[in-house]
Amino acid sequence: MLDPAAQEHWQRHGWLWLRAFLGDEAARDLGVWTDEIAAWPEVPGRWMRYYERGGDAAAKMLARIENFVPYHERLAALFTGPRVLGLLADCVGEPVVLFKDKINFKLPGGAGFAPHQDAPAYVDFGIDHHVTLMPPVDAFTADNGCLELARDARARVFLPQNPDGTLRAGVMDALDVVPILARPGDVIVFDAWVPHRSGPNHSSAPRRSFYLTFNPSSAGDRRAAYYERKRECFPPEYERVPGVDYAARGRQFNLGNPFD
Ligand SMILES: O=C(O)CCC(=O)C(=O)O
């Protein structure tokens, strides 16, 4: 599925931006499905809704929903269908299986994400290789906090980290960082070791995006193990046990995120 230029870009940088890969119809569907999922209520034990505080209203604001694929048949068919799995298998060099899924909402006034690699958040699950497919729901702009990816930085090494797992000051600044001004219908694919960040949403409209993270099938299906542990360490607010310090317990699961 990848032409030689895309293959070379993937090999060198560990990420790709494929314009119009999904096309207009899927882009429209993603918008509709995002609205549907955003309207789902808080139900313990099912999808996981996370909030940030701040922004224009200084109030609780939807920031992320995770683990929705098992509850949305059409969305599951798109993201675990042959076109997406074929693309990711081409990148990884073998078939892949879904590890986790999330939507970041980044509503107006929503915070950015501190520079980080994703790999440290997944290491406890026995696999050091993950790729994320990121289809934007809204057009990414510099003003609304588009994703920013480093070039020439795909090595599987832990870059110097702060205690909270984000990259130490100066690490990202020393890299060649590209703002990805992707549009609905495009996809971005990136390896979990690639350093990335994004700014706050200064615009008056949401900057929503899906993130579907996969691992090589040969490494096994670790999705259930991941979500079981995440629910223990960093559950949504409405599943929390009073008195537990989830900021400390859930640190690994909240890496670089602006969530409570
Ligand atoms: O949505 C963004 O702007 C960046 C998200 C990100 O880096 C993450 O969720 O790990």
pLDDT of residue 49 exceeding 70: yes
Does 187 have pLDDT greater than 60?
A: yes
Cβ–Cβ < 8 Å for 113, 209: no
Q: What is the pLDDT of residues 104-132, one digit of tens each?
A: 999 999 999 999 999 998 988 888 899 99
CA nearest 106: which of 175, 170, 55, 39? 55
> Measuring from each residue's beta carbon to the nearest atom of ligand 1, which residues come in under 6 Å?
104, 106, 113, 118, 145, 147, 196, 198, 209, 211, 256
Q: Is the pLDDT of residue 56 over 70?
A: no
pTM (2 d.p.): 0.96
- Ligand 1 centroid to 147 CA: how many Å? 7
* 151's tokens: 């070039």
Q: How far is the CA of 3 from the centre of ligand 1 (A)?
A: 27
Percent of the chain with pLDDT over 90: 88
Reduced to 3 states (helix: H, G, I; strand: E, B; else coil), residue 192 is: coil
pLDDT-derived band at 60, boundaries 50, 70, 90: confident
E-state strands within the chain: 15-18, 48-54, 59-66, 96-104, 113-116, 131-134, 147-150, 177-179, 187-191, 196-198, 209-216
> So what's the architecture of 4-254 in CATH?
Sandwich (2.60)
